[in-house]
Structure 1
């Protein structure tokens, strides 16, 4: 999520694209087969065949490095897009040459300024020379653009041989809610854009490697995790499985962030003041879902996340709450007219629930899903999100398709681990362990991942070890290589 925001009159601005020339490196041609090939054989000989079905504009580039070890310098990623999502010392893999395709699908909104295109529905597809036969697709967290997962997800799956594709979800930035004609349309577009990208990326992979992907996996964090859930509920035929990293929960009868964030905005100032009402304010925050023991994270989230998130998503789903004002009044005191600290989802008109119904989840997944979520998440508290979603999956009769790992000491963004290394553990290695467990689940009939559980934080946790290791069980063999 970007944090610079200047409210103005509500509008539905549209614009056109501008082109950006990308340098093309000449690599040695290799054999035109679909089997894995060596990095030196150069699949860039096929770059003329790199076509993304349905794209309005695209540029294919041969790169000697598809991970951020090379794309930062070559300009084929945007570090600002993934800032704050991963621990500072997370290793960066390298040695992954191949083809990168940047482009966009037809769209009318213009929030994404990457490449100077000023055009939404941008995507990136990366096709490594050494291909394992699989494809990983992802939507982005927050309201970030298509490169947001490059450090957390793309680097690692590319190093394992997967082709990779990501979308900006069709609208970006803190004014994403201006997109669409009706409340809920902007978020609903996220789902259709990931479906669109998945179909296009599968066809692009088949054309590039001369055979279709043997496995298609979907993954993402936060809003990207929500997309994983929605895709496996609504388009399971496109995927073999997915990994949901702390996905956002939307359901018309709650809970959603519109239920618990207003309580945080109401109660936190009283807690922070430390007066006679501080204990009552703390209890109110605990009751709303913010766990005991997470208090050290509250000041940062109050300053950076809670207020902005509530106002932006409330504007998307309930713009009538504050009338002509756009996205409310920052950090308003309770009692202020149209203040989001006083927002009461249950008391809002039925049209608000109908907006949420456009994007709600049901739990009726159709393919294997693994969820990981930190117990110290204070943006999407686990008791109000993934705990609820796991119950929804079981209630729908899809429990055998789901594994759920509650990661003790994990919080919403891994960069906070650098600030509190003695209290938090990163979720990035837990996502990778879960991803490898999904690979084994799909590759080895009868081999199921460890049972759903709370993964404890080791009593003498070494930060360096936690950055590399997150066993889902003491004897898990989930780290074996992929077998698409």
Structure 2
């Protein structure tokens, strides 16, 4: 689900729905089926339009179910060109990748921006003030594949452009991404009942996948040979959910530190409140600090990650707890919206005192709408950092790996625990001697998935990927061998 916001810099102007911290951070429309598209492709072949040439067939591309779309022919689909041309939004992906990450180029093609029918309006990209926005990029030199991603946190549709989109486009994939149907720190205002806003995220990814597959047939005259789902944080959760609930749409997925939702827990509403209560006592030092440290580690925050706690306390834990608790348990603070920032335990309706296990059954019912089961239906690779202190690994992917095994789907799953990885790769720039970026590990996992589903090459067994003691920052930014 995270990083929460779109940038690590202070909020600017009306786009930001958060004023207390900087940016460190609805049913689907009816879709035409793929079966209806090849006829149009046949017509184009008869007319001589074909599939070759820069931006071929652009004027005829129609996104099924879209209420609005804008097709453009670009000389560069990666951020090497879209930043200057205005076809991405840097604020969407700011703070998600290391500063030294190389930017590929040389990918001309078609970009389609648009939105599906929706009733909420938190996404202001293009001045549309309309949610359920998407972007689809179709390279001239296509490798036959499609990659679909949902945004991390509550960011918008361009959030994956630097971390994922650039790289897969440079490899020849078509790329489609969605804002998930609601954005910003007030995302919980969407929907009619608790849990509805998050449940819409899943619907929107399914909707976009079907639509993007249809557009690919229109553009290239054949369906994708492989459709892969991937994403980080909330985007990783979406990969898990899609492979559990709509495996027919995908050939596999890569989950980058996906969020775990379970009705019985753990989930973030079980481990964030103890951190909010204990961290200030630990940070103050003196009497009670040792016990507070024990409470932190007992909640799942690993010993050795203490250097990351101040940043996460200031920018992530408090807001995350309040807005997701508001989405799933709005009655906790009555008419107040999303609690009191940084409240002291004992304050009425303080989120530091929140106890998920003691809340009414209705709260667990809301979580059950979005809960995961582990019953994946296609190959899935998960990568997660051992020093993640937003979604602690022992309370998240360790648990999900057991769920997959218990569901009898272990043969479809590989899990790589990355030593020194944390939730936000930009922190590698601040702590290069303590951390390692997960981005190269995601790329290694993606390549392993390609070989798994394309050539039948089994990935290495799941294990903890060590942080090489002698590795330079440059090595860590470009290499992450998954061999044990």
Q: TM-score scaled to structure 2, two decimals?
A: 0.91
C-alpha change, 1:439 and 1:32, in structure 2 (3 Å) is farther
Matched, 1:252 2:252: no
Matched, 1:409 2:403: no
* Aligned equivalents of 1:194, 1:5: Cα separation in 2: 23
Could you tell me which residue of structure 1 aligns to residue 461 of structure 2? 451
Could you tell me which residue of structure 1 aligns to residue 207 of structure 2? 196
Secondary structure of the 1:48 match is helix
* Aligned equivalents of 1:211, 1:182: Cα separation in 2: 41
Matched, 1:290 2:339: no
The count of aligned residue pairs is 445
1:276 Cα deviation after fit:
1.6
Matched, 1:469 2:479: yes
1:431 counterpart (430, 442, 457): 442
Matched, 1:278 2:289: yes
Secondary structure of the 2:176 match is strand
1:160 Cα deviation after fit:
0.1
Could you tell me which residue of structure 1 aligns to residue 183 of structure 2? 172
* Aligned equivalents of 2:319, 2:237: Cα separation in 1: 19
* Aligned equivalents of 1:97, 1:51: Cα separation in 2: 20
C-alpha change, 1:331 and 1:429, in structure 2 (3 Å) is same
Q: What pairs up with 1:24-35 in 2 under 5 angstroms?
A: 32-33=49-50
2:372 counterpart (353, 356, 361): 361
Could you tell me which residue of structure 1 aligns to residue 168 of structure 2? 157
Matched, 1:460 2:470: yes
1:119 Cα deviation after fit:
0.2
1:224 Cα deviation after fit:
0.3
Gaps of 5+ in 2: 6-10, 20-47
Could you tell me which residue of structure 2 aligns to residue 299 of structure 1? 310
1:392 Cα deviation after fit:
0.0
* Aligned equivalents of 1:234, 1:402: Cα separation in 2: 16
Query: Residues 144 and 173 of structure 2 are in contact (CA less than 8 Å); yes or no, is this contact kept in structure 1?
Result: yes
Secondary structure of the 2:425 match is coil
2:402 counterpart (391, 395, 398): 391
C-alpha change, 1:471 and 1:33, in structure 2 (3 Å) is farther
Secondary structure of the 1:45 match is coil
**Alpha-carbon displacement from aligned partner over 1:60-92 (angstroms, at most 9, x marks no partner):** 000000000000000000000001100000000
Query: Residues 56 and 219 of structure 2 are in contact (CA less than 8 Å); yes or no, is this contact kept in structure 1?
Result: no
Could you tell me which residue of structure 2 aligns to residue 99 of structure 1? 110
1:52 counterpart (42, 63, 71): 63
Could you tell me which residue of structure 2 aligns to residue 478 of structure 1? none
* Aligned equivalents of 2:141, 2:100: Cα separation in 1: 26
Find runs of 4+ consecutive structure 1 residues off by over 2 angstroms.
Answer: 1-7, 31-34
Gaps of 5+ in 1: 8-30, 475-484
Q: TM-score scaled to structure 1, two decimals?
A: 0.91
* Aligned equivalents of 1:443, 1:143: Cα separation in 2: 33
**Alpha-carbon displacement from aligned partner over 1:267-298 (angstroms, at most 9, x marks no partner):** 00000001121111111100100001000000
Secondary structure of the 1:415 match is helix
Matched, 1:314 2:325: yes
* Aligned equivalents of 2:219, 2:18: Cα separation in 1: 43
* Aligned equivalents of 1:46, 1:32: Cα separation in 2: 7
2:95 counterpart (84, 98, 101): 84
Secondary structure of the 2:149 match is strand
* Aligned equivalents of 1:137, 1:95: Cα separation in 2: 21
